[in-house]
Chains A and B, each alone.
Chain A
Amino acid sequence: MSTVLAGHGLVKKYGSTTALAGVDVEVRERDSLAIMGPSGSGKSTLLHTLAGIIRPDGGRVLLRGARIDDLGENKLSALRRKRFGFVFQFGQLLPELPAEENVALPLMLEGTPRRQAVERARRWFAPLGLDGLEGRRPGQLSGGQAQRVAIARALVIEPDVVFADEPTGALDQNTSTEVVRLLTSVTREQGAALVMVTHDADVAAHCDRVLQVRDGRISSHHQYTVA
């Protein structure tokens, strides 16, 4: 399987704090990677660097072999919009849009006509167990449902990589398992790779591989043999 996304020798400093001290990562097609580590160890920084949200001070980020860390702000923004999907802990859905329009928004931003965008968005509701919730607004959804809508929104553009930063951080244990199970399986079916930051070992266990980060370095790399 070919490498979709790679970071080589990534370094990021904030003043005297070194958030990343030379990290190497590779993510392959349909691969799912969990990043774990103590608070402040640099997990989010690593995810943001790989996703082209922050620029590393050293090292390179490659998407299908092409450098992306030196692109301009607008190009990066377009790249994130077209090739990446994002799931955050909470609060990423626009509260006044019904679920289906929240999901359709990335397509509309790319110029897909509204009706078509909404139609394509709706197709994601059944596989994610969201049948009948298309017209609900985020305030009318449970935390787990909202996260599943967020997953639909991340996947609707058929991205190369889905990035998730603590996607289950605001959920209880059962919901959390359900959401991460869907996130990993649907991402894989879709053919996208998954990079997920989590505190929760049970959540991480759904991924193919787990990276342990400590003080901005990778301290261990565990490969599950399941898949």
Chain B
Amino acid sequence: MRSPVLPLTWHLARSSGRRGLQSRLLAASAAAVGAFVMLVMIAACLGSGARADRTAWRVPDAVPGRSATAVQATTTTYVRHQPVTVVNLAQRPDREPTPAPPGLSAFPKRGEVYVSPALAELLHRLPANQLADRFPEVKSYGTVGAAGLASPDELVAVIGRAPGDPAVSESAAGGSWYDEGQTARAGITGFSGSKPSMFTGSDQQTALLGAVLLVVPVVVLAAAAGRLGAARREQRLAALRLAGATPRQILAMTAAEAAGVGAAGALAGALAYVALLPALARIPYGVGSWYTGELWVGVPWLAAVVLGVTVLLTVSAVTMLRQVATSPLGVAQQADPRRTRMIRLVLFAAALGYIFLTAQDHMTNRQMIVLLVLFYAAFWLFGPWVVDRLGRIAGRFARRPATLLAARRLTDDPRGAWRTVSGLVLAGFVAGFFSVSRLDIGFTEHPDQVAVLTDGGADARHTAAETRTLLDRAGVKATVSTVGEDDFEDSVLLGDTGVVARVSGGPEQIDAATTALTAVGKGRFPVSQDYVSASDDTVTDRIATVSTATLILSFLVATASAGLTAAANVLDRRRVYGLLRLSGTPLRVLDRARVRETVLPLVVLAGGTTAMGVFGAYQLNKAAGATVNSSGAFQLAVCVTIGALAILAAIGGSRPLLRRVTANPTQTAD
């Protein structure tokens, strides 16, 4: 005999009216948001890995000199503070031909210059004396195709050189620490390099940080969605039980419906992700926007996310129903709220201590994820404890009924209240930390300097004279001096010997000076502050982007969960709310209590951890002698304020629901 569960579920689902439809739509939208956010973060992780791989050809993998067929010298120059990767290539005359680099149809001949579309556009837009004159003069530029680029916005040039050209000589190899990741030279036989460029190398790890931070809020959201459905179904199912359905059948029906709603929502989220791929690809991260294909996660990931969200929703709905099933008079009738114990605080402190002791600068992805998960777990222990204490304190001092109701709710179900705010609390900490800390530690910056490296004192004096002439001819106002070891503090070269031009004027003047001085660099581009601080700036920039994005997405997700939870709570307690309203309790009081029960822990916990993050970053900065990033702090403040208001609005969104479910006395009263 066929099980009646599925047809019956379908029948009930169809006949449950407009309100049932609304709550299912709400749950499905939550599933959609969850799936969408997760897919976007996975796409960012996979995509930034894929695109880092596409830059690996630029970093030469050295082969023994005897077998090398060509020399590759990659370096970086800056225009308008943006990096331009320049790959110089020279075929050795007596060797086998070297294969074409990615994005080019053939190995470049001497004198040929290939540029990425974004660089072509820039060459066209800027005066030649600010950019084009840094490269060999050509009639027309070739194009570096997408296969050789990480992003359509990347600025890349590939230049064919003669074997004896200074640009591919030993002196172009770059030996200073600031050359690391930006300048390298080696003999090659092809472009099988395995090390991604510095500008994309940290992208994936940072994106992963964001993804991991968002997992928990998304799980909470899906669970809240499952719960909403259960609250709605409870009444019907109680009737069904009276009509003789077994608890097992009822669970099966709940599971079937939740799975249906979850799968529909998650699929919609997945479709939205696919449909929005081109738009998502335009969101810049690191080196720029994306090629759409880079953000496609593939069918297995897509299926995994849809399945995961569906399962979460279903499990949440079923566990919720189990609670209802065991206490016929309502969910909230648990006899004694389980106390949260002090041990949570101790474990929390221990875990945080361990994290701070073991966290280092250069961690593998796995180490980072382990620490992050530990961090989460620590907060997961700690959060309910704080909520419980908060409830007790507020309960002791509450004078207004609304505050008292909220306080008692917090103590009654600290885990529930914690769940609603958890995503924000952790995102707040991370964002607070990263948006305020600058991470560039210690050295004085010289944004006005353009410098040329020299071999020694005599060379330096000679080069200085040449520099003056060149700058004069280019119409750049600058004071030129030679620098050496003693000038560690005052020179952008940090103690290396060379010539420094202190340029007056904005980025145009710096770019003009850089272009003019390319001629004296012996195959190397002049060095500016952008070049020297590139590796710090890259990491800082990526972390700032990801933490802002994570914070915004966390708020989005947390807002949705807070709204759903508030709605589910109203449905769960429609009887007691309805009866209170009949007895003349103003809805206003109930409403205030509902808002307070989320806002209290939100302010204390999210506010507290954000402040903790800011304070931690501030201490770190002070120790390192760097200043606090005040624009970051401002951004954070704006973000937190808007997010908190959004959450308030989301809770307020269930006010009409409260009004409606308590409106009909005959339904509530018996």
Contact = CB atoms under 8 A, between A and B. Distances in A.
Interface stretch (A58-66, A92-100, A123-131, A213-221): A92-100
A114 B397 CA distance: 10
Given A109-B401, A114-B399, A166-B670, A95 B584 contact: no
B614 to A, nearest CB: 34
Contacts of A94: 405, 408, 576, 580
Contact of B409 (A77, A96, A101, A106): A96
B576 A81 contact: no
Interface residues of B, number: 34
A71 B188 CA distance: 92
B659 to A, nearest CB: 11
B343 interface: no
B404 A95 contact: no
Contact of B584 (A81, A91, A137, A165): A81
A171 B575 CA distance: 18
A48 B668 CA distance: 12
B408 A101 contact: yes
B401 A105 contact: yes
B401 A165 contact: no
Interface in B391-406: 398-401, 404-405
A97 B412 CA distance: 9
A138 B333 contact: yes
Given A44-B670, A54-B665, A166-B670, A92 B579 contact: yes
B465 interface: no
Contacts of B399: 113-114
Given A84-B584, A89-B670, A92-B583, A108 B576 contact: no
A192 to B, nearest CB: 15
A28 interface: no
A97 B583 contact: no
Nearest to B395: A101
A44 B408 CA distance: 32
Nearest to B412: A96
Interface in B402-430: 404-405, 408-409, 411-413
Size bracket of the A interface: 35 or more
B669 A48 contact: yes
Nearest to A89: B670
Interface in A44-90: 44-45, 48, 51, 53-54, 77-82, 84-86, 88-90
Contacts, number: 99
Interface in B557-605: 575-576, 579-586, 589
B576 A93 contact: yes
A11 B554 CA distance: 55
A146 to B, nearest CB: 10
Nearest to B327: A139
B334 interface: yes
A97 B573 CA distance: 14
B330 interface: yes
B573 to A, nearest CB: 8
A109 B589 contact: yes
A91 B575 contact: yes
A140 interface: yes
Contacts of A95: 330, 332-333, 412, 576
Nearest to A107: B401
B329 A90 contact: yes
Nearest to B577: A94
B342 interface: no
Contacts of A54: 665
Given A79-B584, A106-B583, A53 B409 contact: no
Given A45-B666, A91-B576, A97 B408 contact: yes
B214 to A, nearest CB: 32
B586 A109 contact: yes
Nearest to A74: B586
B311 to A, nearest CB: 30
Contacts of A44: 666, 669-670
B584 A139 contact: no
A105 B583 CA distance: 11
A30 to B, nearest CB: 22
A91 B578 CA distance: 10
Given A94-B405, A108-B401, A165-B670, A53 B333 contact: no
A86 B583 contact: yes
Given A44-B666, A96-B409, A80 B579 contact: no
B473 to A, nearest CB: 82
* B336, B401, B581, B670 interface centre (most CB from chain A within 10 Å): B401
B242 interface: no
B409 A48 contact: no
A137 B413 CA distance: 14
Interface of A: 44-45, 48, 51, 53-54, 77-82, 84-86, 88-97, 101, 105-106, 108-109, 113-114, 137-140, 165-166
Given A54-B665, A84-B583, 7 more contacts: A77-B581, A77-B584, A80-B582, A88-B582, A93-B576, A96-B405, A105-B401
